[in-house]
Amino acid sequence: MLFAALDRWRAPAPDPARVSWLGEWRYAHRGLHGPAVPENSPSAFAAAIAKGMGIECDIQRSLDGQAMVFHDATLDRLTAEAGPVAERSAEALGKIVLTGSEDAIPTLRELLQQIGGKVPLLIEIKSERRDGRRVSAICLAVRRELEGYPGPHAIMSFDPRVVRWFADHSGLTLRGLVMTEEDDKALPGMIRRRLWLWHARPDFLAYDIRDLPSRFAAAQRRRGCRC
C-alpha cells in the first residue's frame, strides 16, 4: 500500500487517452531488418512501413549535435569504420555505409521525413549514464527535430534522466522508461527500479518481455501506467 501511494504521488499515471495508441500497433524493433537489410536503416524502416508496423529506432548524438539513427556508441559492429559515433560529424556519419547494404546512417530528421506520420515512431535515446551534460545535449537534439512533427511518436530510454528531461522540458512529448530486471531481481534492484520510476515520471514502461510476468510491472499496470 505504501509503495502504491508513493508511486501515484511521485510518478502519476497518464491520461489513458494520451497513451492509448501505443497498444494499437505492432512495432518493428530497429525497423524490419534481416539479411541484407541492416537494423536502423532506411530499408528496414521502409519494410516496416510497407507492413503497416510501427517503428522503434535508436538515437546517438553526433560530434556537431545532430540526432543520428544508430544503436551502438561505436561504429565497429555495424559498419566498416571504427571508433565512437560521437567523434564524427553528422555529415561524416551520413556517408558511412551500413554493413551488408547500400544504406548510410540516417539522421532522425531523415527518418521523420521518411515516415511522414504514416506509422508511429518510438525513439530510444542512448546516453552515457555518467555524463549529465551529454544527456541534455542529446535530448535537445531530439526535441529540436520533433518540433512540429505531426505523426504519433514517443521517446524512451533506459536512462531515467533522459525521461525526466522530457517531462521537465517537453511536456507534450510522450515518454517511456525502458526497464529490464535481468539478474537484478533482489531487494537492491527493486529499490533501484522504484527510484528510477520516481525520478523519470514516465507515461509508460517499455518492459523487457523476458522479465514478464513481473510483480513490479503488474503493480504499475494496476495503477494505470501502460507497460
Read off the CATH number of the domain in which 135 is found: 3.20.20.190
Structural domain includes residue 102: yes
Contacts (Cβ under 8 Å, ≥6 apart) of 188: none
Q: Predicted confidence band at 133 (pLDDT cuts at 50, 70, 90)?
A: low
CA distances from 137 to 63, 133, 141, 142, 215 (A): 11, 6, 6, 9, 35
Structural domain includes residue 36: yes
Structural domain includes residue 4: no
Query: Which phi and psi (to 5°) does residue 215 adopt?
Result: -65, -40
SS (H, E, C) the chain: CHHHHHHHHHCCCCCHHHHHHHHHCCEEECCCCECCECCCCHHHHHHHHHCCCEEEEEEEECCCCCEEECCCCECCCCECCCCEHHHCCHHHHCCCEECCCCCECCEHHHHHHHHCCCCCEEEEECCCCCCHHHHHHHHHHHHHHHCCCCCCEEEEECCHHHHHHHHHHCCCCEEEEEECCCCCCCHHHHHHHHHHHHHHCCCEEEECHHHCCCHHHHHHHHCCCEC
pLDDT in the model for residue 88: 98
Structural domain includes residue 196: no
Structural domain includes residue 91: yes
Structural domain includes residue 160: yes
Q: What is the mean pLDDT of residues 19-48?
A: 96
Structural domain includes residue 6: no
pLDDT at 1 over 70: no
For residue range 68-126, what is the model confidence (pLDDT) as tens digits? 999 999 999 999 999 999 999 999 999 999 999 999 999 999 999 999 999 999 999 99
Q: Predicted confidence band at 56 (pLDDT cuts at 50, 70, 90)?
A: very high
Q: Tally the domains of the chain.
A: 1
Structural domain includes residue 168: yes
For residue range 182-226, what is the model confidence (pLDDT) as tens digits? 777 777 778 888 999 999 999 999 988 887 888 888 888 888 888
Give buried/exposed letters for 177-197 (b at 16+ CB in 10 A, else e).
bbbebeeeeeeeeeeebbebb
pLDDT at 132 over 60: no
Q: Which residues form the domain of 142? A: 24-180
| Its pTM surpasses 0.85 | yes
- Please tell me the distance from the alpha carbon of residue 105 to that of residue 214, in angstroms, as a whole number: 36
pLDDT in the model for residue 24: 96
